[in-house]
Amino acid sequence: MQNYRHKAMACIFCLVVGVWGLSGCATTSVPLMDEELSKVNDYNYIIGPGDNVNIFVWRNQEVSMSVPVRPDGKITTPLVEDLQASGKTPAALARDIEKVLSAYIKDPAVTVIVTGFIGPYDQQVRVVGEATKPQALAYRTRMTLLDVMIAVGGLTEFAAGNRTTLVRRINGQEQKYQVRVNDLIKDGDIGANVYMLPGDVLIIPESWL
């Protein structure tokens, strides 16, 4: 009889969990930080419109200069016209410049150094809703939720921080996770901190009260 009751209770529990899973919140649990480490550590900065690139051509000072990446993602320098820069790493851009310059300079050696750091739009971390300073941020290696909240000045007094949604694209699919911003920045619960990835969006809702 006792075993029957245990089995019955287990079935009821499974039914409740199943119903809740179908009708509950659309968000799922946040990935563990350790599970995201490989993606975080493999990140290479990608040049975007608005970045400034310093181009150094060894032994050719006359074609070495600093130029902005235009809104269309291209750059123009002496001997190099309308070259696509956005979406490339600095090293990849340097190799492309070398290919163009090789028509004019023997064995050019080019180094590209990026300053300004805006990055492509799809690589930026965006914060919208009840942040003190909602904005788009250039992604940085090993950037965390805490880093983002410091950059945007924390929450407004009307924010429901623990109902914040993190929107992330994984393998082309949009995923939503709930993050506990209140617990992190107001209660000091470091367990609520998570790594950010390029392209993440944080949506901070207004409190119901």
Per-residue pLDDT band at 2 (split at 50, 70, 90): very low
CB 81, CB 59: distance < 8 Å: no
Q: What percent of the chain has pLDDT over 90?
A: 74
pLDDT at position 30: 63
- CATH number of the domain at 183, please: 3.10.560.10
Q: Which of 64, 88, 115 is the last residue of a domain?
A: 115
Q: Which of 95, 115, 135 is the last residue of a domain?
A: 115
- Ramachandran area for residue 142 (φ above 0: left; ψ -120 to 50: alpha; else beta): left
For residue 73, what are the CA distances in angstroms to 47, 86, 116?
9, 5, 14
Residues 132 and 78 in one domain: no
Q: Is residue 10 part of a domain?
A: no
Residues 168 and 101 in one domain: no
CB 180, CB 159: distance < 8 Å: no
pLDDT at position 87: 96
Q: Which of 69, 88, 115 is the last residue of a domain?
A: 115
| 137-172 per-position pLDDT tens digit | 999 988 999 999 999 999 999 999 999 999 998 888
Of 139, 138, 196, which is closest to residue 164 (Cα–Cα)? 196
Residues 35 and 95 in one domain: no
Q: Is residue 161 part of a domain?
A: yes
Q: Is residue 166 part of a domain?
A: yes
**What distance, in Å, lies between the first and last C-alpha atoms of the chain?**
48
Weakest-pLDDT range from 35-44, 70-79, 146-155: 35-44
Q: Is residue 9 part of a domain?
A: no
pLDDT at position 5: 46
Give the predicted TM-score (pTM) of the model: 0.79
Mean pLDDT (whole number) for 100-117: 96
Domain range for 59 is 52-115
Residues 198 and 126 in one domain: yes
pLDDT at position 34: 56
Residues 138 and 169 in one domain: yes
pLDDT at position 41: 76
Q: Is residue 1 part of a domain?
A: no
Q: Give the residues across from 164 on adjacent strands.
A: 179
pLDDT at position 9: 43
pLDDT at position 209: 64
